[in-house]
Amino acid sequence: MARLLPMFECIELMSDALAALARGEIFQPLRTIVRPPDARGLLGLMPAYRHGEQGAFGLKAICVFPGNPSIGKDAHQGTVMLFSQETGEPLAVMNASQITATRTAAVSAVATRLLARPDATELGIIGAGVQARTHLVALACVRSIKRARVACRNPEHAMRLVREMQDKVPFPIEVAESNEAAVRDADLIVTATSSHEPVIERDWISPGAHINAIGTHSPQSREIDSATMAAARIFVDRRESALNEAGDYLLAAKDGAVSPESIVAEIGELVIKDKKGRLSPTEITLFKSLGLAIEDVVCAEYLFRKAQAENAGTWVDF
C-alpha cells in the first residue's frame, strides 16, 4: 500500500476529494463512535459514498487505542472496506492504519499549500509517532523546509524518530527540549499527540505561523489552547465534523473564545476557490483536521484500481 500510494500522489488525491466534498458530490454522515466506559479504546465507524466514474461505497472501521504506542503499536487499528457502487459487492479490505497515516498527512499538506506563507521554512512538531513521521514527508512536498524540531513527552521516542527519518527528508531534524522550544519561531507547526490538554500556548506562536492540529478527535480533548484558537483564522476539513467532534473548537467555544463564525472555511472551499485563505503575511492560520471517511474511501478506490493494474495484493473469491 505504501508503494502504490506515495505521498505526492496522495496529496493530489486528497485535494480532489476535498474539492468534491465542497461541490456536494459526496454523501458522508458523521462518524459513529462506540466508546464503552470500561474499554481501553474506542471503535469508530466512518462510511461515505462518492458517485461518478471513480465512485464507490466505503467504510472505515477503526479502533483507537491511545496506549498502543507505549507497546510499539500504532494507536489506530482497523480496516477500510470498499464496495461496488453498481452492485454493492465487496471489492477490497485494506489496512486502515496505512491509509490513515498517509492521507492525514496528505490533507495537512493540502492545507499547508493553501494557507502557509510561501517562504515558510521552519517546522515544529509536537509528537513523535506515526503522524509526526508522515507529516515530515508530506510538508516537505509543499514547502522548502530548512529545519524541523520535534518534541514529545518521551525524549527517546523523539530521538528514535530522528534516527528513522533523517535519511528520508532533505533537511535536519532536531530533538527539542520542550514543546515551547519546538514551536518558537516556527512558521509551520504540527500537533500530533493524544493529549487531552493543550500542548501549545499562544505566546509561543510567531506572527504568520500556520498550524496543523491533527492529534485529537473527540469533544473532550484538545491540543490547542483557547487563546491560540481565538487568535487564529480557523479552517477545517468539514464544518459539521468540527462543530460536533473537535474538542479544540468545542472547548474554546465553551471558554467563549470562538463561535461557529470563527470557522472561516473548509479546505475544499479553498481548493475550488469559493473562499479565501491567508489574507496577510502576519496572521496565524490554523487547520483543524478530524479526518473524513471520504478521504479513506477515495484512497481505497485509488489503491484498488492500481492493485488491479499491477496485480498487487492478494486476490480471493468472495
91 falls within a domain: yes
270 falls within a domain: yes
On whether both 51 and 141 belong to a single domain, the answer is no
pLDDT confidence band for 179 (50 / 70 / 90): very high
64 falls within a domain: yes
The fraction of the chain above a pLDDT of 70, given in percent, is 100
Q: Say what the pLDDT of residue 146 is.
A: 98
| Helix, strand or coil, per DSSP, at residue 230 | helix
pLDDT confidence band for 71 (50 / 70 / 90): confident
Give the C-alpha separation, 267 to 137, whole Å.
20
The fraction of the chain above a pLDDT of 90, given in percent, is 90
On whether both 301 and 283 belong to a single domain, the answer is no
Instruction: List Cβ neighbours of 137 (8 Å cut-off, separation of 6 or more).
Output: 7, 105, 168, 169
106 falls within a domain: no
Q: Say what the pLDDT of residue 135 is.
A: 98
Q: Report the first-to-last Cα separation within the chain, whole angstroms.
A: 21
pLDDT confidence band for 317 (50 / 70 / 90): confident
Top-confidence residue, 74 or 250: 250
Kindly report which listed range (61-70, 159-168, 234-243, 268-277) carries the lowest average pLDDT score: 61-70
Here the CATH number for the domain that contains residue 20 is 3.30.1780.10
| Helix, strand or coil, per DSSP, at residue 129 | coil
Q: Say what the pLDDT of residue 73 is.
A: 84
Q: Say what the pLDDT of residue 69 is.
A: 79
On whether both 223 and 262 belong to a single domain, the answer is yes
Strands 147-151, 173-175: pairing kind: parallel
Contact 205, 183 (CB under 8 A): yes
On whether both 252 and 303 belong to a single domain, the answer is no
Contact 108, 139 (CB under 8 A): yes
- pLDDT tens, residue by residue, 238-274: 999 999 999 999 999 999 999 999 999 999 999 999 9
317 falls within a domain: no
On whether both 225 and 303 belong to a single domain, the answer is no
On whether both 181 and 274 belong to a single domain, the answer is yes
C-alpha 78, offset from chain centre: 17
Closest listed residue to residue 35, CA positions, set 267, 220, 295:
220
On whether both 118 and 55 belong to a single domain, the answer is no
Domain containing 63 equals: 7-99+294-310
- pLDDT tens, residue by residue, 114-149: 999 999 999 999 999 999 999 999 999 999 999 999
121 falls within a domain: yes
On whether both 299 and 260 belong to a single domain, the answer is no
Q: How many domains does the chain have?
A: 2
